[in-house]
Chains A and B, each alone.
Chain A
Amino acid sequence: EAQVTQNPRYLITVTGKKLTVTCSQNMNHEYMSWYRQDPGLGLRQIYYSMNVEVTDKGDVPEGYKVSRKEKRNFPLILESPSPNQTSLYFCASSPISAARNQPQHFGDGTRLSIL
């Protein structure tokens, strides 16, 4: 089954404790992206990757890091989480051939609470 898998689905942690949210897709997609969803703000892009070893900032990259060492994986790293990063996070992927008009496939989300 074609899917985007995120882990963990839920996490409660404390300020400053480094964490990683993993994202993996099995569709051989080149394009992958991370979003955060906050009430009243919709989805905002954090980082995206056009291919292996190619990443770029989205609209809200501050406080986050990503890496793309393999095509299928695109982890999101919070080196020193803060309470304002409490949010619902989504990973998504799509084919590169027309990332602009290809629909993105989304994971089920990761709810992070930073105390």
Chain B
Amino acid sequence: AQSVTQLGSHVSVSEGALVLLRCNYSSSVPPYLFWYVQYPNQGLQLLLKYTSAATLVKGINGFEAEFKKSETSFHLTKPSAHMSDAAEYFCAVSGGNTDKLIFGTGTRLQVFP
């Protein structure tokens, strides 16, 4: 069975600081991994996805994530936080014989001026 663990339900950073949101996955087959962002009162939007083409994946709004098989991780980073990055972020995994998308419990990012 596949699963996703997001470490830290809340992360706070200052504007201009590095953003690091952690995601570890469990999968018995090569996974497809996604990061989604949810702004207040909105649905989820895709930030980026890993589908085995490259281990470093660049997404929208300056975010990127690196797939590390040895660590079963897919952490999301952004070099310099902006106030508009404040939102909830979800890591998700799919793959193998399932058509399900399994979500983590989410990390709420706060950005302080």
Chain A residues within CB distance 8 Å of chain B: 4, 31, 33, 35, 40-45, 48, 50, 58-59, 90, 92, 99-101, 103-104, 106-109
List 4 A-B pairs, minimum CB-CB distance, nearest first: A106-B43, A42-B105, A101-B32, A103-B46
* Most B-side CB within 10 Å, residue of A48, A103, A108: A103
How close is A68's CB to chain B, nearest CB, in angstroms? 14
* Size of the chain B interface, CB-CB below 8 angstroms: 24
The complex places the Cα of A31 from the Cα of B101 at a distance, in Å, of 12
- B45 pairs with A100, CB closer than 8 A: no
The listed residue (A42, A48, A50, A101) touching B90 by CB distance below 8 A is: A42
- A90 pairs with B49, CB closer than 8 A: no
- A109 pairs with B43, CB closer than 8 A: yes
Answer whether residue B41 sits at the interface, using C-beta atoms and an 8 A cutoff: yes
The listed residue (A35, A42, A100) touching B99 by CB distance below 8 A is: A100
* Most B-side CB within 10 Å, residue of A42, A99, A104: A42
Residues of chain A with a CB closer than 8 A to B43's CB? 4, 90, 92, 106-109
